[in-house]
Amino acid sequence: VSAAPAHQRTLWPDPAGDAVFVLDQRALPHRRVELRLRGLHQVFEAIAHMAVRGAPLIGATAAYGVALQCCSDAGNAALRQAKATLDAARPTAVNLAWATQRMLGRLLPLPEGQRRAAAWQAAQALAAEDVAANSAIGEHGLAVLQDMARRKGRRLNVLTHCNAGWLATVGWGTALAPIYKAHAQGLDVHVWVDETRPRNQGAALTAWELAQAGVPHTLLADNAGGHLMQRGEVDIVIVGADRVTAQGDVCNKIGTYLKALAAHDNGVPFFAAVPLSTLDLSLRAEQVPIELRSPDEVTQVTGLGPDGQVHSVRIAPEGTPALNPAFDLTPARLVSGLITECGLTPANEQALRALTAPR
């Protein structure tokens, strides 16, 4: 497993052991801003207000939130309250509760005096595992792309939605990891980047990441993907996920479902790249909590003005009612497969239970 390049880290602990640094993704792509999070409340705010976002990254950041809690009060009640607070920051990505659960599972059996040191180690281990899992996803996805490139004998066009690159994880990314590895191997890959309204994670983050890495890419209005698929200009769709159910249904950024429908209709393979920390075999699709965000994100757009400052402008009549569900569910029947750190897996219950069965 190769390490992610140092500049591709989204969070790193302060060596003093009393804070964690993250990139403020709200400032990208216009400015690179680092935040130093000093306590549980600041970690909660960073997740809730999307300074950090992307399922694996909010999990890893929350793990550091538990570690920071241990700096002030590492008692059982304080740790349980910290978990409840962090889990409430965003409802859809299961990685958040998975990470806090794992932290409490490690810490609660220990004497209180040992918890602070153990918490930093556990958070660091969780972050390192995320990088390793994503790197392995990259290798397995690379094999899919290499096979496809051999068969097609020309440039591959990959479509992705939202941002599932290194910014959404601790390092490498999920959906973009195979693309980074393919590009590094000299495979001719081009990425169609969905803008991903309303928050534009594709336009702001994925396009920025790919440009930094020198990967050829083109930004698309969200509605353009189906048209390109009909014209044979999309070879494969790869997205990330915030939660995958036991039945293999994939919950991801709003608009993913429409891309999967169009891919299915046009015979385009549709893959979700997911670490095992994103599987939630306890809920059915209709039980997955879907985050509802502010209608302002729909009625306004935010961008860099000619004065070099970031502004929001209204694009709808004043007072227009708007609805803003942040995620949707793609049924397993539309999913060609899941790319996990363990390899390619069909999106069905039998395969997912076998994958997660204790060995």
Please list the alpha-helical segments (H only) found in the chain.
40-48, 55-72, 76-87, 95-107, 112-152, 177-184, 201, 207-213, 225-230, 256-265, 296-299, 349-356
Task: Output the smallest distance, CB 254 to ligand MRU, in A.
Answer: 8
Q: Would the CA dihedral through 148, 186, 4, 7 be positive or negative?
A: negative
Question: Minimal CB distance to ligand MRU: which residue?
Answer: 240
Tracing tokens 């060995």 back to the chain, one arrives at 359
- Residue 93 or residue 234: which is nearer to ligand MRU going by CB? 93
| Cα–Cα distance measured from residue 189 to residue 216, given in angstroms and rounded to the nearest whole number | 7
Task: Output the smallest distance, CB 73 to ligand MRU, in A.
Answer: 29
Task: Give catalytic residue positions.
Answer: 242
- Residue 123 or residue 275: which is nearer to ligand MRU going by CB? 275
| Cα–Cα distance measured from residue 354 to residue 54, given in angstroms and rounded to the nearest whole number | 26
Strand 327-330 and strand 343-345: the pairing is: unpaired
Tracing tokens 């609805």 back to the chain, one arrives at 323
By CB neighbour count within 10 A (0-12 exposed, 13-18 middle, 19+ buried), where does 193 fall?
Answer: buried
Token pair of 318 as six digits: 């004043």
Task: Output the smallest distance, CB 337 to ligand MRU, in A.
Answer: 16
- Residue 107 or residue 225: which is nearer to ligand MRU going by CB? 225
- Residue 200 or residue 299: which is nearer to ligand MRU going by CB? 200
In what order do the strands lie in the sheet containing 236-239?
Answer: 217-220, 189-194, 156-160, 236-239, 270-273, 337-340, 343-345
Task: Output the smallest distance, CB 293 to ligand MRU, in A.
Answer: 8
Closest CA to 70 of 85, 82, 58: 82
CA separation, residue 3 to residues 59, 136, 138, 180 (Å): 20, 11, 12, 13
Task: Output the smallest distance, CB 80 to ligand MRU, in A.
Answer: 25
Closest CA to 121 of 176, 175, 67, 51: 67
Task: Output the smallest distance, CB 118 to ligand MRU, in A.
Answer: 27
Binding site for ligand MRU (CB under 6 A): 53-56, 93, 162, 164, 168-169, 174, 201, 240-242, 252-253, 326
Task: Output the smallest distance, CB 125 to ligand MRU, in A.
Answer: 19
| Cα–Cα distance measured from residue 229 to residue 214, given in angstroms and rounded to the nearest whole number | 24
175, 208 contact by CB (below 8 A): no
Three-state DSSP class for 267? coil
